[in-house]
Structure 1
């Protein structure tokens, strides 16, 4: 977490999503000055009112909107010390059923947004350093059926993290990513609201439960904390053991 006396400024992209909202609340509780960026106008306004933070609308199909967000941040909350990109999507289709539009949209929302945000964040932090947190997926590390497009998009994010961490380390800019398992968010509601799908997913996670937004948000806040300034170039699994542990059946 960002300590009360650090007086840090952060941008949370995708702030109206389940993980983004949890992260924004976490950071605000610890005294960070925030700019909240998202696509849902009404939800963004409500969250901004709740946290007494300025807001800005962004659209992953318009890279210039990210540039505008950083310009707004410099005017409203000052120099930026941390940025998190919680923008994302989930596409569960086998490759032969994935259309060109599906593929392009999945790459746009997940990979292209991460690159555009990192590009602006690196420019903003070049003289002072800071932390950039992106999001991958456990699906990059373990073969899961029907995840071809999203695994490819998130794999691109992991490559981006490694290279950018090397590029900007000398300037004190840390770049890391989180690779969650299945988190109970609005984006994945269709999966976890089905008893059958939820039960099957729980069995795949060694800890026997699905993730909560706060599980992931806590790690993002930790990576954004300047107290953890010796961590960069990492992709950290917050996945209940999905990608690294073979779960035992209950009762075995």
Structure 2
């Protein structure tokens, strides 16, 4: 029997990239997956179809995050899928990308980043708690940007630092219910969406030379870490930020 059989997971931003990989991995482990998407309906349908093709159970739910009424719309769809059953696993993966260095970021871009990357996951957790069973799991995707200085990602790193703090404080609060709360921080991860970025001359070589394990990350690398944290094997890990970068910028390599 799969580890997550009879569990239901909500994965935000599951239409592509790391979110899709997480949804597919949790489904492989037996969970019924609610795959949230904001705008990429075709991508979400593809995620659901791939899961179902492999014998899993999945549903797509749409809600644009970072706008008024986003949480209410999301959970109207979630509760329709649950049909009175509890939610077992919540993975906050959806996020807006970096807006640029401090010299060019506009107030509107800054506010959008915080609306999607901080406000949305905070109120998604708030709304999910009455549905989440005791012993459930919450995982939020952070970023290596919180531990390494990248001037092009200052505001983005600030948002990810916020959700790491949220995870630690919620872990302390929700431990009484047996709910674990953690964050996973990916590094340079090649996806279908950002593959062109790594075609810049010398970039891949630069990153891999600074990575202990000597390669770029793949979405499945991150998904496997999430799968561990939400499994029974991860029951004693809470309030942590798990680095899932392959050892990016740990120090000089011999």
Give TM-score scaled by structure 2 length: 0.88
Aligned to 1:218: 224
- 3-state secondary structure, aligned to 1:240: coil
Segments of 5+ residues of structure 1 without an aligned counterpart are none
Residues of 1 paired with 2:68 and 2:48: CA distance?
Answer: 23
Aligned to 2:201: 195
Partner deviation per Cα, 1:70-108 (whole Å, 9 max, x = no partner) = 343333242111011111233262211211122112222
Residues of 1 paired with 2:202 and 2:115: CA distance?
Answer: 31
- 1:159 to 2:165 alignment: yes
Residues of 2 paired with 1:63 and 1:190: CA distance?
Answer: 33
Q: Given the alignment, which residue of 214, 229, 251 partners 1:246? A: 251
Residues of 1 paired with 2:87 and 2:78: CA distance?
Answer: 7
Residues of 1 paired with 2:74 and 2:65: CA distance?
Answer: 12
Residues of 2 paired with 1:109 and 1:185: CA distance?
Answer: 20
Residues of 2 paired with 1:2 and 1:142: CA distance?
Answer: 37
Q: Given the alignment, which residue of 52, 59, 66 partners 2:64? A: 59
Q: Given the alignment, which residue of 65, 74, 79 partners 1:74? A: 79
Residues of 2 paired with 1:149 and 1:157: CA distance?
Answer: 13
Segments of 5+ residues of structure 2 without an aligned counterpart are 53-57
Q: Given the alignment, which residue of 89, 92, 117 partners 2:124? A: 117
Give TM-score scaled by structure 1 length: 0.89
Closer, same or farther: CA 137–7 of 1 in aligned 2, 3 Å: same
Q: Give 1:238 deviation, angstroms.
A: 0.5
Partner deviation per Cα, 1:9-52 (whole Å, 9 max, x = no partner) = 11111111211111111111121111111121122123223323
- 1:43 to 2:43 alignment: yes
- 1:228 to 2:227 alignment: no
Residues of 1 paired with 2:160 and 2:198: CA distance?
Answer: 21
Residues of 1 paired with 2:24 and 2:176: CA distance?
Answer: 31
- 3-state secondary structure, aligned to 1:82: strand
Aligned residues: 246
Q: Answer whether contact 1:44 1:55 (CA < 8 A) is retained.
A: yes
Closer, same or farther: CA 220–94 of 1 in aligned 2, 3 Å: same
Aligned to 1:25: 24
